[in-house]
Chains A and B, each alone.
Chain A
Amino acid sequence: MKSAVILFPGINRERDAARALRLASGREAAIVWHAETALPAGTDLVVLPGGFSYGDYLRCGAIAARAPVMEAVRAHAARGGKVLAICNGFQVACEAGLLPGVLMRNADLHFVCRMQPLRVERADTDFSRSYTRGQVVRFAVAHGEGNYTADEETIRRLEGEGRVAFRYCGAEGDPGHGHNPNGSRNHIAGLYSERLNVLGLMPHPENAVDPLTGCTDGLGLFESLAA
């Protein structure tokens, strides 16, 4: 698997993403600067990593979504190429129109930084085959704007088409407002594009790949991609 991690000014998780990809696939990811107009030839997977692109100016992800490289990322996704968009990357993907909806300020206005149980909603995609449906995994969340929302019609379509990838839940897999860190609609933590080739999620699987940091639940996502 050939991966490209996109680097926007203000991004800070690109090395974590590259490290997770190396652990799972044994190959080095290319780090691609935002001003590039093309992806390295043969790129299978594009990662939009987390951080604070452009200092979250205007709206989170809004300016990065209009960077030159995003035309190439859009074309890659349109060809069916895989895109993994994490945290600020998820915000970029929504702003760029790769995924529907928007990530708003957390409902309680607090930046949330903690380990978060998530329920795997489907295990039949290129991103999730190493998991089982209904499995509870723990990834770290660290965001102030993760409150996913979209119009009613879009939410109905996402649910009807089975495009919710992960849902915030309790330790036993029970979803509920007490476990939702940001007030997102239907406890959505991550979602797929129509063709299931783009995954956007707020939690950080790339920071749960090494026993050293206490949890390896995220490795499955990268192993699924590398398989």
Chain B
Amino acid sequence: MTFHARVTVTLKTGVLDPQGKAIEGALRGLGFAGIGGVRQGKMFEVALESADKAAAEAELRRACEALLANTVIEDYAIAFVDTVA
């Protein structure tokens, strides 16, 4: 069956994120006074064929480790989303 997943890749805690800092500053400049911190990440929408959800998740984990994330500085999270009919 076809699974649809969202893979989110974010910088690990403690890794400097100058882009996030610049965005945070711009939001403050626009008057969003309550903004306490911004971290920029990446999101991938992936469709894949797999026998079941567990197999799909295992496949996505391999994809994250092999390419989608650089685990020296990044963490990843996998979430399945409902297929749009």
- A residues with a Cβ closer than 8 A to B are 58-59, 62-63, 66, 95, 101-102, 104-109, 149-151, 183
Contacts and interface: CB of A to CB of B under 8 A. Distances in A.
Contacts, number: 31
B67 A62 contact: yes
Contacts of B68: 58
B18 A102 contact: no
B66 A150 contact: no
B50 interface: no
A66 B70 contact: no
A95 B66 CA distance: 10
Contact of A109 (B15, B22, B67, B72): B22
B72 A59 contact: no
A179 B68 CA distance: 33
B84 to A, nearest CB: 26
8 interchain residue pairs of minimum CB distance: A102-B72, A109-B18, A102-B73, A105-B18, A59-B70, A102-B70, A107-B18, A66-B67
Interface of B: 15-16, 18-19, 22, 66-68, 70, 72-73
Contacts of B72: 101-102, 150-151
Given A102-B72, A102-B73, A150-B72, A108 B67 contact: no
A107 B15 CA distance: 12
A183 B19 CA distance: 14
A183 B70 CA distance: 20
B72 to A, nearest CB: 5
Nearest to B21: A109
